[in-house]
Amino acid sequence: MPDNAQQFASDNYSGICPEAWAAMAEANQGHQRAYGDDEWTARAADHFRRLFETDCEVFFAFNGTAANSLALASLCQSYHSVICSETAHVETDECGAPEFFSNGSKLLLANTDNGKLTPQAIREIALKRQDIHYPKPRVVTLTQATEVGTVYRPEEVRAISQICKELNLNLHMDGARFSNACAFLGCSPAELTWKAGVDVLCFGGTKNGMAVGEAIVFFNKDLAEDFDYRCKQAGQLASKMRYLSAPWVGILQDDAWLKYANHANRCAQLLAELVTDVPGVSLMFPVEANGVFLQLSEPAIAALTARGWRFYTFIGAGGARFMCSWDTDEARVRQLAADIREVMSA
């Protein structure tokens, strides 16, 4: 089972979903104006404005690292700092991209509760140093859903945005799995973002069925000033932009984004349910989005790997992350669960 066994390693191991592919195929007709002056890009931006029920500014970047870094750089200067979770992707997996794009902004790591920042943790970090010998806090970034598969409730986001306002901090949301968060909560994208005080959202497409491409959505339009220049200078303006924007039209127009996020979340729930009674297995975090973090035994992990399953184990001894995707096969979920049961009882 060479290929399918990789299904739980990462949601970016999956391919392009039919709706995104069809839109690309449709866009691949004749000549189109370059650099975003095409029809597809205008349509995609309109879809975002409809989805978020507000006149937001929308930009497209090639990947999440760039989207997050450009957004953060637009929210602070090099001598400012960004408060994030100690497990935030911007801290742990972007190779210093936020520091690079901002020319030096420091990330300040806050403790979290199930991967989620709290107003209290933000306040402590923000007020810890207030002298010019240390970068001045200027931004808070949340990951929604978090890197450990949990989801901020609208009221949690609101509480954070209130502390941000109080402390003069901008609020950014890394939404690499924003779709999964919306699907889990069943609430509208607007409720989870600008209505809760988010200034800028990076909305991930790659992990939900696109080839490349993230959308940067500014609800606070003042902060978007000259952001098009920023993207261009940083190598994030596609000449044939239609191939970045058309897939968005594809997954937004009939809500495929939500359908697939629901599917991935359901697969994660299923996996959790199927192993929850296995002796020795425990959930490391509540299963809310599309990831399942299991505490297993080390021999069990080795045995699963020997059976060909691929998954990440960066969470510490005995921890295993299983990610579900838009195209995860439920039969494979059941097979994985059966294998977990077997190896744990071996």
- Least distance to a second copy, CB of residue 341, Å: 23
Q: Could you tell me the smallest distance in angstroms from the CB atom of residue 281 to a second copy?
A: 24
Asked whether the CA dihedral 164, 165, 168, 170 is positive or negative, the reply is positive
**Residue 8 Cβ, how far from a second copy at the closest point, in Å?**
9
Going 181 to 184 to 190 to 192, the CA torsion angle's sign is negative
Residue with tokens 């920042």: 117
Which CB, 106 or 259, lies closer to a second copy? 106
- Joined together, the tokens standing for residue 273 give 């349910």
Both tokens of 233, joined, read 């200078």
Length of the chain: 346
Q: Are 176 and 141 in contact (CB under 8 A)?
A: no
Nearer to a second copy, 189 or 213 (CB): 213
Name which of 103 and 276 has its Cβ closer to a second copy. Answer: 103
Cβ-Cβ contacts under 8 Å for 321 (sequence gap 6 or more): 291, 292, 293, 311, 312, 313, 314, 315
Tell me whether residue 190 or residue 234 sits nearer to a second copy (CB atom).
234
At a CB cut-off of 8 Å and minimum separation 6, what does 120 contact? none
CA gap 90, 67 in Å, rounded: 11
Of 164 and 185, the one with the shorter C-beta distance to a second copy is: 164
Name the 3-class secondary structure at 292: strand
Least Cβ distance, residue 239 to a second copy (angstroms) = 4
Please tell me the distance from the alpha carbon of residue 240 to that of residue 32, in angstroms, as a whole number. 8
Shortest separation between residue 136's beta carbon and a second copy, angstroms: 6
Nearer to a second copy, 133 or 155 (CB): 133
Smallest separation (angstroms) from a second copy to the CB of 158: 27
